[in-house]
A and B are shown apart, each in its own frame.
Chain A
């Protein structure tokens, strides 16, 4: 394998890892805090992608860069809102009944995909991106599309922002404590339910930003883009350990790189299968995941 191919594959794999991380970190936090598997999380990703597409194609701002900034902002707000609305409107009424909560997120996911399909058809929608995304730079002789590096960089920034939020703010403290032992936090008189809305909003925000980057990365957004990536996000969450943000980041890198390299050398689809095999091995050897705490 030549060095150029290696670098290109590594950067692409890391980009993929970034997208997985943006989806999986929210999932992992929501699960850690509330025991809810949010099947609608893929929809948050998709909504981000469509928000960007709508802004990029319908808003009359001449500068593509400025429009992209607006698109990111709109997608962020949309993700925040949809996360909060899903939690308040659909998860909260079913508090205490985890299976039904999961079922309802599955229903929201189905209805949401069909709604977007009804509005915007199932064809991939592409949009113009700022010049900087189309630039190519030379790294070790390999021509790397800058958009891949931007995806990696943005995901890293968001990872550190999330870790800082969890570590240095009071809300973050409550979330971390709640993941550790929810009953104890409640017994101390702290309203954990308020954090529920917060983690959903944060998860929605991260997923929606992931959706914007994903729409660029995969060259287009479809109603099913979120659900398709959600599967790998699930795998990342399980391998990383439920509720652990750093575990999720680590697992995202492993999964993204494995998928990219194996798919390239062994044929399309084999990488995806390898990732599933990784999951099976993790479960057999270490059911709680790489950085997970006690087995659940």
Chain B
């Protein structure tokens, strides 16, 4: 007799890393951080990879976006990769960081360094309130609710009932209250360093968090929430904690992103933006911080570079039906994402690890 059962698939749990022994990862990240930090002084051209030298403003701009996305992706990894919370509303907190900071800069005399902490406190409060409503439901319903909240902000930002957010046009950066070193093309490297600092800070905060006692509970909730409850712990509080930390980090990312692209654009509040964040994390590797960071960097790089390639006429010889989609970075990234999910569920990180493992065996 054959009885169909939902056999546990290996794809789910095997692709996630085992709880680690003391790891060298933080030192590796410090090393990579140092390499990134000196890039603005390296006048080496990398033809094809970047236009101009590594130290050129255009290159640093692309890298800065990649670094912000890396930090953002790590913050999302706390939710999906470590706690198993599928949020479709991460864009909300990122957008609060972008718009909140910009509005404070435009309408008050606060310094950037004062405005950002204030905004982050606000983001933390909003995340606590909305998180505690959304976490009343689990799984897919949670995803839908977070999505609805995010869409609410998107609607407000676009419809702009109070005439403060600039509607669909967006809101240029209030540059009067920005320190001079962040203004102008010459000073892109300072913005780049802020982005780098954000990415590193995000990594170390997430690293500390997931290796703390609470972080272990998050991972237990991801594996089996009922069992956590059975052991006498209340998952709700732990989930809310992960949600709030991830949201505040996303808000901080938004505040830095504002500096990088010098303005607030309603697109950062849209569902599509959240879906992009998911693509980053899964592309890089779910449940591994460095994987998520890698995914963010790759996403930022490709989404900025592919339109440039298209403008340079790389795809011009192709037939029209192929050229159109190929000039859309999201088409390539989305397709890559689908292929990876089907054939390498651990993302780029698992491919790299597999490569490393096969080398080690030899």
- Residue on B nearest A236 in the bound complex, by CB: B144
A107 with B325: CB separation less than 8 A:
no
- Residue on B nearest A105 in the bound complex, by CB: B338
- Residue on A nearest B333 in the bound complex, by CB: A110
Is A109 interfacial (CB-CB < 8 Å)? yes
B328 with A107: CB separation less than 8 A:
no
Is A39 interfacial (CB-CB < 8 Å)? yes
- Residue on B nearest A272 in the bound complex, by CB: B155
Contact of A118 with B12 at beta-carbon distance under 8 Å, contacts A104-B342, A107-B338, A231-B151 already known: no
Rounded to whole angstroms, the CA-CA distance of A283 and B136 in the bound complex is 7
Contact of A296 with B152 at beta-carbon distance under 8 Å, contacts A100-B11, A118-B327 already known: no
Residues on B with C-beta less than 8 A from A94 are 11, 341-342
Residues on A with C-beta less than 8 A from B137 are 283, 287, 296
Contact of A109 with B275 at beta-carbon distance under 8 Å, contacts A235-B144, A272-B152 already known: yes
Interface of B, helix, strand, loop or mixed by DSSP: helix
Return A107 CB to nearest CB of chain B, in Å: 4
Residues on A with C-beta less than 8 A from B276 are 110
A-B contact count (CB 8 A): 164
Residues on A with C-beta less than 8 A from B159 are 267-269, 272
Is A93 interfacial (CB-CB < 8 Å)? yes
Contact of A231 with B326 at beta-carbon distance under 8 Å, contacts A97-B9, A103-B282 already known: no
- Residue on A nearest B335 in the bound complex, by CB: A111
- Please report which residues of chain B, range 281-340, place their CB below 8 angstroms from some CB of chain A when the two chains form the complex: 282, 321, 324-331, 333-335, 337-338
Rounded to whole angstroms, the CA-CA distance of A33 and B341 in the bound complex is 23
Is B20 interfacial (CB-CB < 8 Å)? no
Contact of A115 with B331 at beta-carbon distance under 8 Å, contacts A109-B275, A110-B279, A276-B148 already known: yes
- Residue on A nearest B13 in the bound complex, by CB: A97
Residues on A with C-beta less than 8 A from B6 are 96, 183
- Residue on B nearest A276 in the bound complex, by CB: B152
Residues on A with C-beta less than 8 A from B148 are 231, 234-235, 238, 276, 279-280
Of the residues B3, B155, B324, B345, contact of A100 by C-beta under 8 Å: B345
B147 with A231: CB separation less than 8 A:
yes
B275 with A110: CB separation less than 8 A:
yes
Contact of A100 with B144 at beta-carbon distance under 8 Å, contacts A110-B330, A284-B133, A287-B137 already known: no
Contact with B along A29-51 (1 / 0, CB 8 A): 00100010101000000000000
Residues on A with C-beta less than 8 A from B86 are 99, 102
Residues on B with C-beta less than 8 A from A231 are 147-148, 151, 271
- Please report which residues of chain B, range 141-155, place their CB below 8 angstroms from some CB of chain A when the two chains form the complex: 141, 143-145, 147-149, 151-152, 155
Is A87 interfacial (CB-CB < 8 Å)? no
Contact of A118 with B144 at beta-carbon distance under 8 Å, contacts A269-B159, A276-B151, A296-B138 already known: no
Residues on B with C-beta less than 8 A from A119 are 321, 324-325
B161 with A108: CB separation less than 8 A:
no
Contact of A283 with B3 at beta-carbon distance under 8 Å, contacts A103-B282, A118-B331 already known: no
Rounded to whole angstroms, the CA-CA distance of A258 and B154 in the bound complex is 19
Return B353 CB to nearest CB of chain A, in Å: 18
Return B121 CB to nearest CB of chain A, in Å: 23
B145 with A186: CB separation less than 8 A:
no
- Residue on A nearest B323 in the bound complex, by CB: A118
Return B168 CB to nearest CB of chain A, in Å: 12
Contact of A100 with B12 at beta-carbon distance under 8 Å, contacts A110-B272, A283-B133 already known: yes
Rounded to whole angstroms, the CA-CA distance of A235 and B141 in the bound complex is 10
B331 with A107: CB separation less than 8 A:
no
Is B8 interfacial (CB-CB < 8 Å)? yes
Is A250 interfacial (CB-CB < 8 Å)? no
Is A56 interfacial (CB-CB < 8 Å)? no
A234 with B144: CB separation less than 8 A:
yes
Residues on A with C-beta less than 8 A from B334 are 107-112, 114
A234 with B342: CB separation less than 8 A:
no
Besides the known contacts A37-B143, A119-B324, 12 further A-B residue pairs in the complex with CB atoms under 8 A apart: A35-B139, A106-B279, A110-B276, A110-B330, A115-B325, A118-B326, A118-B327, A183-B5, A186-B5, A227-B271, A269-B156, A276-B149
Give the interface of B toward A (CB within 8 A).
3-9, 11-12, 80, 84, 86, 88, 133-134, 136-141, 143-145, 147-149, 151-152, 155-156, 158-161, 271-272, 275-276, 278-279, 282, 321, 324-331, 333-335, 337-338, 341-342, 345
- The contact sample of 28 A-B pairs, CB cut-off 8 A, is A31-B140, A37-B144, A39-B275, A90-B338, A93-B342, A96-B6, A97-B9, A97-B11, A98-B139, A100-B345, A103-B278, A104-B342, A106-B278, A110-B272, A110-B334, A110-B337, A111-B333, A111-B337, A114-B325, A114-B334, A118-B331, A230-B271, A231-B148, A237-B144, A238-B141, A242-B140, A272-B151, A279-B145
